[in-house]
Amino acid sequence: PEKKVLASSADLSPSYDWFQTDSLITIVIYTKQKDMNADLVIVDCQDKQLRGEIIMDDHSYLIEVVNIAEKVGKVEIILNKKDNVHWKMLGQPCEGHNTFMKRTDRGLFYRKCKLISKTEVTHDTKLFCLMLPKGTHLRVPTGQHVYLKHIIAGTEVVKPYTPVLPFLPLDFQELPCHDGVHIYLMIKIYSHGLFTQALDHLQIGDYISVSNPEGNFKKSQVQTSENLLLLAGGTGFTPMVKLLNFALTEVSCLRTVKLIFFNKTEDDILWRNQLEQLALKDERFEVQFILSQPSKDWVGKQGKISSSLLSEFVKRSRRDSKVLICICGPVPFTEQGVQCLKDLGYSQEEIHAFTA
Ligand code: FAD
Ligand code: NAD
């Protein structure tokens, strides 16, 4: 194979090679530097990209953007040397080095992210903007969540949250900042909530740990459907945000996207105005709000999830039309919803329930 020389002096410079088996691509990098330890190596790999930084005293060796060729599965790590120092070695292999295992068997990896802003969405829900550290490349795929970790009264507490977009884009031009640096979380603050109270007390500039993404939703489920139905209860709306945007901007076969959004009161409806704007703008999209504790002036639908309520909205356009129904909200809401859908004749394959 072609010999890769990354620095001026060939014998002291880092060098790498790669090899493959049917299931594995292994990249080997040599830095030739003493006193390296695991703390000095920061690597984040996700989706089709990989990024890593190796700290060497006051120098840093940066692995920057990568182009992963889908078809041949080739991973290219480009190392940007900050200074032209000679590297002797990359480091001793860590515990997980060069292993290939199930994602569920691999522990979650966290990095500390800075709180950039906190804006009100409703009376109890806020949009948190977190910034990934410079050495991290991480994009949370549609339908997946991350875990936030924080020490509360001396104990490590971990809770899952589903990243959203900073807003619902109304046209292709304003596609939200896929800058790869910011993560937006829409979080309801519970007055007696352990984690959300601590989150609410974070100051701008404070740090919080964010894990790698997780979740079993596959975009391909949407890519083959003609009708997409989203059933959300309260903050169960969060996975629907990226999903909605993905469906309306990237899925050409979709004819209708319907969101049925269950909340307690009008004041609890998240991004109501944005959803209404989107429905006006895109004729494929329709939104219906259903309240379980409406005030007297509410003229819209009311009630909780039930077969009779769903039967009004969930109708196949044709007997053989391809439908995907996504549901997310409080556990009993999701469980009842799935049961109702099955009672209405929808199959397991047509339903995706977001759960932990
Ligand atoms: P807790 O201390 O757990 O309590 C929450 C509230 O419920 C409090 O008011 C408490 O008094 C009450 N409560 C606690 N236990 C019970 C009980 N057994 N019965 C009745 N009431 C009880 N939330 C978001 O806001 N945004 C998201 O994007 C989001 N994404 C999620 C993704 C996944 C995959 C999952 C599983 C959950 C997600 N959640 C999301 C919920 C989130 O993980 C937390 O559960 C939530 O923030 C509450 O945490 P807490 O520690 O503040 O509340
Ligand atoms: P909420 O208490 O404000 O309820 C919103 C609506 O859900 C209600 O108006 C009602 O229509 C329905 N609902 C609530 N309890 C119900 C019950 N027992 N039976 C039937 N329907 C019920 O909701 P919230 O406080 O915003 O909570 C949202 C929930 O969504 C949380 O439990 C959170 O963990 C969950 N969530 C899960 C995910 C995920 O799994 N991926 C993502 C985000 C949020």
- Reduced 3-state DSSP string for 103-141: HHHCCCCEEEEEEEEEEECCCCEEEEEEECCCCCCCCCC
Q: Is 297 helix (H, G, I), strand (E, B) or coil?
A: coil
Of the candidates 135, 156, 167, the residue with the CA atom closest to the CA atom of residue 53:
135
Which class for 137: exposed (0-12), middle (13-18), buried (19 or more C-beta within 10 A)? buried
ipTM of the complex: 0.96
What is the per-residue pLDDT for 196? Answer: 98
Question: How confident is the model over 28-45, as a mean pLDDT?
Answer: 53
What is the per-residue pLDDT for 31? Answer: 65
Best-predicted range by mean pLDDT (77-81, 180-184, 186-190):
186-190
More confident call, 197 vs 137: 197
Nearest ligand (C-alpha, residue 304): 2
Question: How confident is the model over 285-308, as a mean pLDDT?
Answer: 96
Residue 223's φ and ψ, nearest 5 degrees, are -60, -20
Q: Is 345 helix (H, G, I), strand (E, B) or coil?
A: coil
Calculate what percentage of the chain has a pLDDT beyond 70.
68
What is the per-residue pLDDT for 67? Answer: 43
Question: How confident is the model over 271-288, as a mean pLDDT?
Answer: 97
Question: How confident is the model over 210-216, as a mean pLDDT?
Answer: 87
More confident call, 19 vs 96: 96
CATH T-level topology, domain 107-211: Elongation Factor Tu (Ef-tu); domain 3 (2.40.30)
CATH of domain 220-353: 3.40.50.80
d(CA 111, CA 213): 12
187 CA distance to ligand 1 middle (Å): 9
Task: Return the exposure string of 244-270: e unless at least 16 CB atoms fall within 10 Å of the residue's CB, then b.
Answer: bbbbbeebeebebbbbbbbbeebebbb
**pLDDT tens-digit map of 71-101:** 444 344 454 556 676 655 554 566 666 566 6
Extract the tokens encoding 314. Answer: 């969930």
More confident call, 18 vs 111: 111
More confident call, 301 vs 72: 301
What is the per-residue pLDDT for 14? Answer: 54
Type of residue found at 263: N
Residue whose CA is at the smallest distance from ligand 2 atom 20: 333
235 CA distance to ligand 2 middle (Å): 7
More confident call, 43 vs 305: 305
Sheet with strand 182-188: strands edge to edge: 155-161, 146-152, 207-211, 110-120, 125-131, 182-188, 163-164
Ligand 1 contact via 162 beta carbon (within 6 Å): yes
Nearest ligand (C-alpha, residue 188): 1
With a cut of 60, say whether residue 55 has pLDDT above it: no
Question: How confident is the model over 203-217, as a mean pLDDT?
Answer: 92
More confident call, 180 vs 280: 280
d(CA 257, CA 244): 8
Residue 44 banded pLDDT, cuts 50, 70, 90: low
Do 107-211 and 220-353 show the same overall fold? no
Question: How confident is the model over 42-63, as a mean pLDDT?
Answer: 49
Question: How confident is the model over 188-217, as a mean pLDDT?
Answer: 95
What is the per-residue pLDDT for 9? Answer: 39
Of the candidates 324, 168, 146, the residue with the CA atom closest to the CA atom of residue 244:
168
**Ligand 2 nearest atom to the CA of residue 235, by list position:** 26
Domain boundaries, the chain: 15-91, 107-211, 220-353
More confident call, 317 vs 113: 113
More confident call, 213 vs 69: 213
| Ligand 2 shell residues, CB under 6 Å | 145, 162, 188, 233-236, 238-239, 262-264, 268, 292, 304-305, 328-330, 332-333, 336, 354-356
**Ligand 2 nearest atom to the CA of residue 268, by list position:** 3
With a cut of 80, say whether residue 32 has pLDDT above it: no
**pLDDT tens-digit map of 302-337:** 999 999 999 888 877 677 789 999 999 999 999 999
Ligand 1 contact via 150 beta carbon (within 6 Å): no
Choose the residue to mutate in 196, 230, 235, 336 for probing ligand 2, maximizing ligand atoms within 8 Å of C-beta.
Answer: 235
**pLDDT tens-digit map of 225-251:** 999 999 999 999 999 999 999 999 989
